[in-house]
Amino acid sequence: MRNLGLFYRKMGRYDDACVAYEKELLTRRATKGMLHVGTWRTMRDLGAVYERVGRHEDALVLYRELLANLPIAPEFGDDLPYAQFSVAWVLTRDIEGLRDPDRAVEFAQRDVDVARAKKGRADPRSLDTLALARHLAGDTAGAIETQKRAIARLSPRAAKTVRAAYEANLRTYEAALRERGSQPDG
């Protein structure tokens, strides 16, 4: 069902994606429980689709539940980086009462640090999320540097849409920095 949800999402059939993700989430909760990475992924994906179709209140409820159930202690093991990534990603969402850029930076940086320690490098998605969190927290220069690293880490086979989105994010941060530089102090 999750793959079907992903398929519908890529096709722009968001209402169908909601139905597929909702069914998947019911199954995940019943069979794997809340402390399973598959449950977290489905919750994150369903929340993103809820946002896309304007169901912001439903997304907020789901994201709050996700935040309440994500373990963030180091002893959680191999799923810890994904949990930290998920917390950072959720805290960058443009939903009233949820966005917390400073905490997002904290969790995204921990995710990147754990990945570097385990694999010697960070995942491009993690760097992209860290860049957004830095930008939202007011460190746009740091966001630009991080976004450039995210783009450099994309594999040559990365989808053109992913590369284009990362490059668009970089242009947004660069424009914001130029805009700040052109405004008088005061």
Backbone phi, then psi, for 126, in 5-degree steps? -65, -40
53 and 125 share a domain? no
The lowest-confidence range among 43-47, 73-77, 79-83 is 73-77
65 and 125 belong to one structural domain = no
Cβ proximity of 125 and 85 under 8 Å: yes
* Shared domain check, 156 and 90: yes
Least confident of 11-15, 40-44, 133-137: 40-44
What tokens were used for 64?
Answer: 């709050």
HSE of 89, CA atoms in CB hemisphere, 13 A: 22
Q: Is residue 170 part of a domain?
A: yes
Number of domains in the chain: 2
Which CATH number characterizes residue 5's domain? 1.25.40
Asked if residue 46 belongs to a domain, the reply is yes
Domain that includes residue 175, residue range: 83-186
**Cα distance between residue 96 and residue 118, in whole Å:** 35
Q: Is residue 13 part of a domain?
A: yes
What is the token pair recorded at 174? Answer: 């660069």
Would you place residue 96 in the very low, low, confident or very high pLDDT band (cuts 50, 70, 90)?
confident
> Count of residues for the chain?
186
Residues 103 and 165 in one domain: yes
Task: Count other C-beta atoms under 10 Å from residue 168's C-beta.
Answer: 10
The reply to whether 11 and 48 lie within a common domain is yes
Q: What pTM was estimated for this model as a whole?
A: 0.76
**Residues 6+ positions from 186 with CB-CB distance below 8 Å:** none
CA distance 175 to 140: 10
Same structural domain for residues 140 and 179? yes
- Is residue 39 domain-shared with residue 94, that is, in the same domain? no
